[in-house]
Amino acid sequence: MSSSGKPAGGPRRPGILILFAALVGATTLAYVMMPRKPVEKPAEPVAEAPLPPLRQSLFAAPPVARQVPVDHVRHGETWTDPYDWLRDKDYPKVDDADVLDYLKAENAYTDQVMGGEEDGLRAALFAELKARVKEDDTGVPYPRGAYVYQSRFSAGQDHPVFVRWPKDGASNGEQVVLDVNTLAEGKDFYDVEALEPSPDGRYLAYSFDDNGSENFTIVVKDMQSGELVGEPIPGTSGSVVWAADNRTLFYVLKDESQRPKQVMRNSLGAAPAAATLVYEEADPSWWVGIGESQSGRFVEIGSGTLIANETRLIPTDDPTAAARVVIPRQDDRLYSVADQGENLWILINDKHLNFRLVQAPLADWSEGNWTEVMAGSDRQYLTGLLALKDWLVVFGRQDGTQQVWVRGTDGQSHTIAFPDAAFAVSPLNNEEYETGTLRVRYHSLVTPPTVFDYDLAGRTLTARKVQEIPSGYDPSLYTSERLMAPARDGTPIPVSIVYRKDFKKDGKAPLHLYGYGSYSIAMEPGFSTARIGLLDRGFAYAIAHIRGGEEMGRPWHDAGRLTNKPNTFNDFLDVAQFLVNQGYTSPGQISIEGGSAGGTLMGAVLNMGPDGMFAGAVAHVPFVDVLNTLFDETLPLTTGDYPEWGNPNIPEIYQVMKTYSPYDNVARRPYPPILITAGLNDYRVTYWEPAKWAAKLRTHKTDDNVLLLKTEMSAGHGGSTGRFDKLKEVALSQAFILRAHGLSK
């Protein structure tokens, strides 16, 4: 189970083992089905009370960071960094008064330009966004062990309450498992990563982060007495697995650079110092994660990078047994496994980059005993497995569109038929092994998130919940398309786009373009309540499925990483121009947005794009100081990022990287209005990267456009954790987007 912003109930997520990735969004709880009422298009902005354009000269002078030049020599070239001082020398502790004063001054300037959270356009947008959230809400109940679990929100609450009741309907009734609101009381930030009941349901292990650093503390609660058992375990990755004895816990400790490194085993109630080391990853570029197999028979220990991994198994009924390696690590070899009865299923990319599916005896899974069941294919990309007692579910993509294959123990297989042509689907709350039902979360650009139960034998979908939008939503008012934009090298780039049916393709409409394109992460064509307001104001909203993601299979990722990384940025610019050519919008009418590695994208295209193409840009926690960060192996993600971006100590990589590193390529040229966000406790993209970028942009840009930097002083990479606090962040971004397009409401 997990808290707000993640799938409630902790489904064992199928998929290739990627042990770290940039944050690309959040999964919301499913909502109650209700009749939908139509939404009328909002009135045009009130002309007599316009907000001032985002022109710097119309406001007080922005903060100016002092310059203290520091020289770096790389491959014989000298790079001068005038804002190196913004990195607190005591990091990860940030208490330098000059640094904090600068960040606070930038926050104050943002509020001066955009208005405060409680005023004007930001407040109106927050109210609009909040009106689309069902405040008093419940998730779909799901069975696990002897209990049925459910997550609930109450009106006014920022966090969920998790409850359970006996599966057999015993008279002792409902019990509160965890009230995250109580735990978060008085804290600016509180995130629960995992809630794992022991197999017998007596104990609950959960992990929390109360400052956004993603250093999670594990605690164990006795569900009978309500008391905590033993001492808290700090410095973990957040994941926890129980052995079958209800007394043994497995978890992962991070090292001093935030890398999940050591798998530990400990007994219930024992001091953390008494824990036994089960596995330690020696390669500094590899991360470690743990999980439990769907059958509950194995603790899975995974270590790896984006391009290679290794899995070990420990029987849960013999927790002190040595971990057995499934397939020893090899360069550029990825695989994932799932046990089912006497067999082991393996997805592996040994014969094809898009993976093949093989079956092996659990007693001897060596390669000589493999039987191929699904061959590798250019059209099919296999991404994950979910093995139930009598069914195997394979997740993947067919010609770029998500697909779910179902295979019975009789060897017969079929695909699940979903309502839309393009959609996003993922498993949800599948905690049982002996079941004939698959639960998924399904949505599309025009279809709100729906929780479906799929009868694997009957081949029927039953909707358990459709997200309710209290303020109203009529899907018949909107339409979506899947387009192919030609890149400059001739490669067709998929584009998903949604707009109201009264949208006119005359080149006059505003368009908001989103992109990511890294870490083999796909930007699915999914639903967003936050997007409705833009569509109803006449916008088209497009997602550029650029190279570097996985939308078109594993080769799509390879075509946008290492020395191919410039393809990611060129693709985005080519998509923007294509949408202009097709009449969806025009130059100067396109706003753009991306976060984390998508922030790299924003920085690169702002440097590379033609003058006047973009109306504005929003870059969330952007990874923009690429050279400085990837030359610094003391930072948490540096060595682990080499498979994606490359090691700049290699001359060939360096020569490519220096052409796009956003901070290093800021030029004396015009830039559109830009909103940059950061998190003070963010270890994935450290706060000084966006701060330095904002400072350098201010001194170089030749325009009169506003540049804003907003730092969350008590949050990390994902921003706020409370559902309403998150809406305030969205309201700021949307207020900025609207004003960048000259709209006042």
Q: Which helix (H) or strand (E) holds 573?
A: helix 566-581
Residues 6+ apart with CB under 8 A from 166: 146, 147, 148, 172, 173
Q: DSSP 3-state assignment of 514?
A: strand
Burial of 45 (C-beta count, 10 Å sphere; 0-12/13-18/19+): middle
CA distance 159 to 309: 35
CA-closest candidate to residue 12, choices 333, 309, 393: 393
First-to-last C-alpha distance (Å) of the chain: 39
Residues 6+ apart with CB under 8 A from 744: 45, 46, 49, 50, 51, 121, 738
Written as one letter, the residue type at 349 is: N
Residues, the chain: 745
For 83, the token pair is 């804002």
> In which residue are the tokens 């997740």 written?
395
CA distance 184 to 715: 13
Q: Could you say which of 717, 720, 733, 741 is catalytic?
A: 717
Q: Could you say which of 2, 661, 682, 733 is catalytic?
A: 682
Q: Which helix (H) or strand (E) holds 289?
A: strand 287-292
Catalytic residue check, 506: no
Contact 632, 87 (CB under 8 A): no
Contact 292, 244 (CB under 8 A): no
Q: DSSP 3-state assignment of 338?
A: strand
Q: Could you say which of 237, 444, 596, 661 is catalytic?
A: 596
Cis peptide before 92 (omega within 30 of 0): yes
Report the sign of the C-alpha dihedral through residues 552, 554, 557, 559, in that order: negative
CA distance 155 to 33: 18
CA-closest candidate to residue 522, choices 699, 618, 677, 402: 402
Catalytic residue check, 682: yes
The strand order across the sheet containing 260-267 reads 191-197, 203-209, 216-222, 228-242, 248-254, 260-267, 276-280
For 300, the token pair is 């899975």
Residue 127 CA: distances (Å) to CA of 110, 116, 161, 576 = 20, 14, 24, 31
Residue 136: Cβ within 10 Å count = 12
CA-closest candidate to residue 660, choices 630, 700, 702: 630
CA distance 273 to 104: 40
Residues 6+ apart with CB under 8 A from 591: 510, 511, 512, 513, 614, 615, 616, 617, 618, 737, 740, 741
CA distance 682 to 103: 14
Burial readout 185-207 (b: 16 or more C-beta within 10 A, e: otherwise): eeebbbbbbbbbbbbebebbbbb
Contact 327, 335 (CB under 8 A): yes
CA distance 89 to 362: 52
Written as one letter, the residue type at 141 is: P
CA-closest candidate to residue 696, choices 680, 676, 715: 676
Residue 240: Cβ within 10 Å count = 24
Catalytic residue check, 210: no
Active site positions, annotated: 596, 682, 717
